[in-house]
Structure 1
Amino acid sequence: MLPKNRSPFARGLHTCATAVLALTLPGTAIAQKRYDPGASDTEVRIGHIGPYSGPASAYGTIGKAASAYIAKVNAEGGVHGRRIVLLSVDDGYNPAKTVEQARKLVEQDEVLALFAPLGTAQNLAIQRYMNAKKVPQLFVATGATRFGDAKAFPWTMGWQPTYQDEARIYAQHILATRPNAKVAVLLQNDDFGKDYLKGFLDALGDKAATMVVARASYEVTDATVDSQIIALKASGADVFFNIATPRFAAQAIRKAAETGWRPLQYLASVSIFVQAVLKPAGLDNATGVISASFIRDPDDETLKDTRELADYRTFMQQYYPAGEASDFLNVLGYSTAQTLVQTIRQAGDDLTRENLMRQAANLSMVLPMLHPGIEVKTGPDDYRPIEKVQLVRFNGTRYEAMGRPVGR
């Protein structure tokens, strides 16, 4: 502390020192730019991992659509003058390859965050690594319940509704409309399939033991699910819950029709897609299928004259002309990329991994291609951005909404 009778010169030095200190302390009036690896004055480097090859390659177009949206943002000036560099790599839907790619993106490419890595087993394989490294694992492309646990894994955040919540909605619909149903279930034999099954059985409660008359599982390395469908048909079930990824979901729908089995079908939302699933299965075979959606169908007649659809179709034409605009998967990539861009925008000049995660946990936005009544909303203890779905039924050409969005 300077003496009260210090000279004017000493007082001047103290004033200057105080001013310099104010410029250097955090939280002062003059904000400073802060960067972690992957961010600079000119760019923000983000990693993405998807199955461009392998048994789930139908999902590869999600990454292409997301990359196209990032290209659009960059063409329009980027975010706060910074270009987003999206490094999108292939893991072949193989968890071991996912680990290899995640390590490369984090340790060699030094990305600020991983965005929308796809798959339950794949994200599970890298979750502990990402949290140990304190690198955001943002908007993972899986609805597994474990990817919304803010306390256990504060660096991992989901995006879509959870598989358990979705399955509960199907079970509740069956209980309300077909209380005496005999249900057969096909599921992928991993955490993805088991998560759906748990939500379904929990919602059926005591009735699960009598209503679920058959279950069959498959491995992602299987060639077909033909034998499983034949076994499920033999159970006499009149309701079929299809918990499968696109290739196997399409096989199941087609095989059921070929055998003459015509149950009421509930299709997990991961395979809702008309282009990737229902067309290969046969549109006639898929007529009547019930699923759950949170993104709008580009072929929905009620969207025909809307600004939202016009903007989306213009984007596809200009930035991803090789993609099919009617494909739900491209709407998914478009919408998740919009969420990422908003998160980066909110981070401003504080492009640290910690602040990016903080902004991801402070979202409140309405995306143009989500169903009305469904929004993206998060909080410090709420790592589940989308928590409602719209039940839909396929009419042979497109999906039609059944009631209003339901969920939390």
Structure 2
Amino acid sequence: MTRKIISAVALLLTVCASQASAQQKSYGPGVSDKEIKIGQTMPYSGPASTFAAIGKAMEAYFQKLNASGGINGRKINLISLDDGYSPPKAVEQTRRLVESDEVFAIVGSFGTASNFATQKYLNAKKVPSLFLGTGANRFSEPEIYPWSMGWQPNNVAKGKIYGKYLLRERPDARIAVLYQNDDFGRDHLRGLREGLGDKAATMILKELSYEISEPTIDSQIQILKATNANVLVDISTPKFAAQAIKKVAETKWPVLHMLSDAAASISSVLVPAGLENSKDVITLLYRKEITDARWANDAGMKEYLAFMKEYMPSVDPTEVLYQFGYGTAQTFEHVLRQCGDDLTRENLMKKAASIKDFELSSMLPGLKLNTSATRYTPISQAQIVQFDGVTWKPISDLLDADK
């Protein structure tokens, strides 16, 4: 009887030890003791190739991370494919990443239309799609798309922040709106109206859209100028924002020009538009502006510039899209570290939806990333800034779209 009891106890201990070992390391597709394979698509070619800087910065950041040993001994293998800013190509490349490369997750893929095209497929496959390069609200709807999450403030949130700022600082503003005729533009416009509340109907004089296929928006600017508005809310992407800045200057329209943060790059928007023409335009920021002397001795900025010098020495470090990719990669690193050895897709989404007061060294002081099972927008704060001819200068405190 004693021998039977001892044997039973030994067997039980063996089973328990085996179960404990299994619990210590749980792996999903693309994960091993040495590697975590992730994927993304980027517009390395096509009309939005400027945004490929995000993917390049993420690749460089993971190189840096791998050089220091990776995460818990696992190297990050980022497979970044060109989608040409084409939704059908994004679907093709994403299917390859999931079905052939068997990546653990999709991380940082850029473009609203491209991410729309792959969203239902990735959710059906239960593949985490994290910190995507889009501000569309469809990536902040966990009740519908539980496997999709954006990173920056969504476009409705940005519009709300603009509306709140105008109500507070320019309550008598006469507003003209130029917007891109897609979800990017329409979500911003919806947020602007929500931020203005009951006054939207009287403050907004005219709303005019443009198609991304149009060569210029000169005619739209002329029509909007004729409204005698004194505020232009310009919800356009870099190419068209630069055109709008030039046209406003050329027509001598005395208007407060508010740009989408998607067009806030000094090097790729304001310089082509002309720095003198760009003076006094307004946008919102949630990052530390690299050209702002305030951050010259900031530890986080020094860390970022050192990274750029070592891992991306041939590019312009003031291009904000590299900073965007850097912050996205840092956020993914944070979530992976929270996962420990439970590297299943389910646990990755659980940890991504459990970020608590996480601060990034390249973001504005006081800005904290938070998520929950019902909140899929990590960042909801931003600061209104104005271009002084050299850099962006703050003209507000941090504004929160949710408060």
* TM-score category (smaller protein): over 0.9
1:215 aligned residue: 207
Deviation at 1:321, TM superposition (A): 1.0
1:132 aligned residue: 124
2:84 aligned residue: 92
1:351 aligned residue: 343
2:5 aligned residue: 11
Give the Cα–Cα distance (whole angstroms) in 2 for the partners of residues 34 and 172 of structure 1.
Answer: 46
Matched, 1:141 2:133: yes
Matched, 1:166 2:166: no
Deviation at 1:29, TM superposition (A): 7.7
1:116 aligned residue: 108
Q: Structure 1: which amino acid aligns with 2:377? A: R
Matched, 1:36 2:28: yes
Q: Structure 2: which amino acid aligns with 1:292? A: L
Q: Structure 2: which amino acid aligns with 1:58? A: T
Give the Cα–Cα distance (whole angstroms) in 1 for the partners of residues 54 and 105 of structure 2.
Answer: 18
Deviation at 1:382, TM superposition (A): 2.0
2:63 aligned residue: 71
Residue segments in structure 2 that go unaligned for 5+ positions in a row: none
Of 341-350 and 168-177, the range deviating more from structure 2 = 168-177
Give the Cα–Cα distance (whole angstroms) in 2 for the partners of residues 281 and 381 of structure 1.
Answer: 41
CA contact (8 A) 2:38 2:103 kept: yes
Give the Cα–Cα distance (whole angstroms) in 2 for the partners of residues 92 and 157 of structure 1.
Answer: 22
1:369 aligned residue: 362
Corresponding residue to 1:405 among 395, 398, 403: 398
Q: 1:294 to 1:97 in 2, by over 3 A?
A: same
Give the Cα–Cα distance (whole angstroms) in 2 for the partners of residues 262 and 108 of structure 1.
Answer: 55
Q: Structure 2: which amino acid aligns with 1:263? A: V
Q: Structure 2: which amino acid aligns with 1:393? A: Q
Give the Cα–Cα distance (whole angstroms) in 2 for the partners of residues 92 and 184 of structure 1.
Answer: 32
Deviations 1:69-100 (A, max 9, x none): 11100111111111101111122222222211
Deviation at 1:30, TM superposition (A): 7.4
1:3 aligned residue: none
1:240 aligned residue: 232
Residue segments in structure 1 that go unaligned for 5+ positions in a row: 1-6
1:103 aligned residue: 95
**Normalising by structure 2, what TM-score?**
0.96
Deviations 1:277-319 (A, max 9, x none): 1111111111111111111111111111122111111100100
Give the Cα–Cα distance (whole angstroms) in 2 for the partners of residues 250 and 296 of structure 1.
Answer: 22
Give the Cα–Cα distance (whole angstroms) in 1 for the partners of residues 341 and 21 of structure 2.
Answer: 14
Counterpart of 2:364 in 1: which secondary structure? coil
Give the Cα–Cα distance (whole angstroms) in 1 for the partners of residues 22 and 132 of structure 2.
Answer: 35
Deviation at 1:240, TM superposition (A): 0.5
Aligned length: 400
Give the Cα–Cα distance (whole angstroms) in 1 for the partners of residues 333 and 198 of structure 2.
Answer: 45
CA contact (8 A) 2:180 2:210 kept: yes
Deviations 1:105-128 (A, max 9, x none): 111111100011112222111111
Measured on the aligned residues, the alpha-carbon RMSD in Å equals: 1.5
Deviations 1:226-250 (A, max 9, x none): 2222222222221111101111111
1:380 aligned residue: 373
Q: 1:129 to 1:29 in 2, by over 3 A?
A: closer
**1:324-363 matched pairs, under 5 angstroms:** 324-363=316-355
**Normalising by structure 1, what TM-score?**
0.94
Give the Cα–Cα distance (whole angstroms) in 2 for the partners of residues 12 and 30 of structure 1.
Answer: 24
**1:145-294 matched pairs, under 5 angstroms:** 145-294=137-286
Q: Which has the larger radius of gyration?
A: 1
Give the Cα–Cα distance (whole angstroms) in 1 for the partners of residues 221 and 192 of structure 2.
Answer: 19
Q: Structure 2: which amino acid aligns with 1:16? A: A
Counterpart of 1:179 in 2: which secondary structure? coil
Matched, 1:20 2:14: yes
CA contact (8 A) 2:288 2:362 kept: yes
Give the Cα–Cα distance (whole angstroms) in 1 for the partners of residues 94 and 48 of structure 2.
Answer: 19
CA contact (8 A) 2:23 2:342 kept: no
Give the Cα–Cα distance (whole angstroms) in 2 for the partners of residues 274 and 314 of structure 1.
Answer: 21
Counterpart of 1:403 in 2: which secondary structure? strand
Q: 1:208 to 1:245 in 2, by over 3 A?
A: same
Matched, 1:295 2:287: yes
Q: What percentage of residue pairs aligned between the two structures are identical?
A: 45
Deviation at 1:38, TM superposition (A): 0.9
Of 200-209 and 304-313, the range deviating more from structure 2 = 200-209
Corresponding residue to 2:386 among 388, 393, 398: 393
Give the Cα–Cα distance (whole angstroms) in 2 for the partners of residues 231 and 92 of structure 1.
Answer: 33
